[in-house]
Structure 1
């Protein structure tokens, strides 16, 4: 039978896995919406307003699910992990509070203007509201990543009677891994949103939508994807070097290195075995792991055997890292191939449209894989070197956690299916809808009665 600790870990993993899907989209999608709105304001081209109207609906739906799942996730700090807040609440509490005060309030307040004020406020005010919502999503990521990074590489505090107390808030927020983790996550969001926009736009074109709007949206998304995917590889490499410096046991698990060695190979394939503390069926590239991490073919990498009892589970970290990198390379290839094809031909071939459609939610998979590497790679600690997962866990009956876990899984599965189905229906209806009149497209200058009559 599963004990309380394991069930609590599974429940939190399920909650964070579901929750992270939606902010990963909304952080960057808000900036896309701001760009679409600016293009309409500057050009007065009604097509940009059509693009904005379509994607603001998806943004609202995604934002709502992100808020709901975020609230339920925060409950678990008290119900499943009381030791966490008791030990580091002086740091975690204010950072979570800042996220609510500076980000959530901005998003929630101006989202109403953004969604319902397009005919009720001046165009400049509506554009400003869109900008503030985008800023709010990024500020939200800032504070959450500050806390998560501090849990990975804690700094700026001291322990007094088993409780963490802040000595320098600047060091707490801008801890050693924060700049890399924040950059990595923001880029992941832009990649996810880019492939979402490209995938749905490609689907519409593939299904016979000959309107200009999906073509312009597709071009915009592919341009952004072609820029940010290779940039993510560069930032990811820097993030890896930072992790190698501050969390060598995580890197050892990512690379499948058991014994400290010089000239460590990069394993393209292997099956880590923690019982024998070795790998099976290795497919190595000699010296490449040392070259990447130390910039020296003979550089030394500490092995997992240096951290017995204090290193993460190897198999999920090892393969999560390879899934993330593999998907990242695939997205670079697809983004550049599709963008070059669009540049040369002025349109995409049917097979390319199908590939982009299939990769609509590829950003989700890469983000989840990377998140698992980050969070599982911190084990057995909840706060590295300060608080273990076991020390923070609740001691309530396993049956209680099992019941709440079951309910979470049922509800989240239903919500995810409903979300994907709704997005698909919205894309299909966009294909089937008749051309909107010129006056309706310029809807910011209409009052609600006039728009209703034109519809």
Structure 2
């Protein structure tokens, strides 16, 4: 019950709830927007009506995610002024302006062109509509860029100094292009794209197994598979680069990720802990399964470490992350899902090469299609666990090495925070149920293949006029 009286812990729980829930929706909108650009571009190039109907069908799921993302994202940002006012006051000159860029540049761009993308079919020229779709995709991914700029700055603050507890910007571009920024942006970009690809692929696989619109959805299945062949391995590589940065810039986080209590010296091979049961009180692992000499290959692609891996015992207890088990297993869940998706992509690509994904035979690949359905939600889990590693592993700092989380929180009555936490929990639960209901309804209904194609004229009826259908031809033609 002590946690219910701790306003800092409750504020952290509330922000974690809103962030984890909000993250579910922009994951799909940022990645699916790129897919919509691809299929609409293919329609404009080939004039194949299937691509047009794909754009119309998947845009329904896009707008559902967009709406809930907006509804859940605004309360999260408001907390910087309510629950985290000292933090906002200290770093607002930079952090606040970055969030302002995200709202004014990215969100407004996406929202401004969204109406044209959804309702402009047949009302604006095809080229203008395609431009709107591109702008929506650009705005969605620009939003990801600015959010990751802000968060990466919290991980590796740069571009200024803290004077009497307030961050003074000396070099704005150095702050934006802080050491973590590039890999963070790329890692999240590929995470949203990969998740979206496997969601689209999983839904397509479900239709194929149900033998509904098999040829139509085998087309979308192959599009996302072709993209996944490039995206899935790249995501693993970018993830490795991100782990290297943690190795060099955040030693306490790396120690928590590996549940490493003792320092591993440089110049020696280091074992990698696959599974363990961390015991924070005893400062050890109660048991562990280790792979000999693997940690050096993971961090530096060689057996011996060039730098030591500091153990948690090297740091005062007040400077260590808490919840070591959560950080340890979140990282392994994220990594395991990444390798599983690569393996599924490889197996499916081989079947494609053997000609087993043709419309007439693809429905027979039941185990492969079921695996894609199973994989559809895994990207979400990988992203959420990745953010747990990123943010929980940064503790006890809000700005790494500069501002402690305990000093960043507003002094609010615990009862008020608990009340708002319960309110957010109920509200987000209702939104989640509504999203599942309307999303499943869209999927059950399926694509409307009878929608008129813009630019294709409907031929007039050739039936002879009847007494119920007066002849509307010119008088000369009637005579």
Q: TM-score range by the shorter chain?
A: over 0.9
1:336 alignment counterpart: 346
Structure 2: 5+ residue runs without aligned partners? 462-479
Match of residue 355, structure 1, among 371, 376, 393: 371
8 A Cα contact 1:49 1:441, kept in partner = no
| Structure having the higher Rg | 2
SS state at 2:319 partner: coil
User: Does the alignment pair 1:50 with 2:53?
Assistant: yes
Deviations 1:76-109 (A, max 9, x none): 1111111111110111111011111211111011
User: Does the alignment pair 1:282 with 2:288?
Assistant: yes
For 2:455 and 2:162, the matched residues in 1 are separated by: 57
TM-score, L = length of structure 2: 0.90
For 1:211 and 1:116, the matched residues in 2 are separated by: 27
Match of residue 140, structure 1, among 122, 143, 160: 143
Deviation (angstroms), 1:293? 1.7
State the 4+ residue runs in structure 1 displaced beyond 4 angstroms. 444-447
User: Does the alignment pair 1:301 with 2:304?
Assistant: no
Deviation (angstroms), 1:68? 1.2
Deviation (angstroms), 1:125? 0.1
Deviation (angstroms), 1:117? 0.9
Note the 1:60-71 alignment, pairs <5 A.
60-71=63-74
2:431 alignment counterpart: 415
User: Does the alignment pair 1:272 with 2:275?
Assistant: no
Match of residue 35, structure 2, among 25, 32, 36: 32
Note the 1:37-116 alignment, pairs <5 A.
37-116=40-119
8 A Cα contact 2:207 2:214, kept in partner = no
User: Does the alignment pair 1:258 with 2:282?
Assistant: no
SS state at 2:412 partner: coil
Deviations 1:321-365 (A, max 9, x none): 001011111111112212322332132511221221122111100
Structure 1: 5+ residue runs without aligned partners? 451-455
Deviation (angstroms), 1:242? 1.0
Match of residue 337, structure 2, among 294, 316, 327: 327
Deviations 1:103-126 (A, max 9, x none): 111101100110111121000000
Task: Select the structure that is richer in helix.
Answer: 1
For 2:282 and 2:165, the matched residues in 1 are separated by: 36
User: Does the alignment pair 1:14 with 2:17?
Assistant: yes
Computed over aligned residues only, the root mean square deviation of the Cα atoms, in angstroms, reads 1.6
Deviation (angstroms), 1:211? 4.3
1:443 alignment counterpart: 454
For 2:285 and 2:295, the matched residues in 1 are separated by: 15
Deviations 1:206-228 (A, max 9, x none): 11213432111111112212221
8 A Cα contact 1:290 1:301, kept in partner = no
1:209 alignment counterpart: 212
For 2:167 and 2:457, the matched residues in 1 are separated by: 57
8 A Cα contact 2:40 2:52, kept in partner = yes
For 1:445 and 1:233, the matched residues in 2 are separated by: 44
For 1:211 and 1:297, the matched residues in 2 are separated by: 49
For 1:377 and 1:102, the matched residues in 2 are separated by: 30
For 1:290 and 1:311, the matched residues in 2 are separated by: 23
For 1:296 and 1:326, the matched residues in 2 are separated by: 21
User: Does the alignment pair 1:384 with 2:400?
Assistant: yes
Match of residue 241, structure 2, among 220, 229, 238: 238
Deviation (angstroms), 1:444? 5.0
Deviation (angstroms), 1:55? 0.4
Deviations 1:392-436 (A, max 9, x none): 1121111111111111111112211221232222112117x6xx3
Match of residue 310, structure 1, among 319, 325, 334: 319
Deviations 1:211-256 (A, max 9, x none): 4321111111122122211111111111111111111111111111
User: Does the alignment pair 1:196 with 2:204?
Assistant: no
Match of residue 388, structure 2, among 362, 372, 388: 372
For 1:85 and 1:273, the matched residues in 2 are separated by: 35
Deviations 1:357-392 (A, max 9, x none): 122111100000101000001000001011111001
For 1:366 and 1:444, the matched residues in 2 are separated by: 42
Deviation (angstroms), 1:290? 2.6
For 2:109 and 2:36, the matched residues in 1 are separated by: 16
8 A Cα contact 1:154 1:383, kept in partner = yes
1:406 alignment counterpart: 422
For 1:7 and 1:90, the matched residues in 2 are separated by: 26
For 2:48 and 2:77, the matched residues in 1 are separated by: 43
For 1:360 and 1:369, the matched residues in 2 are separated by: 16
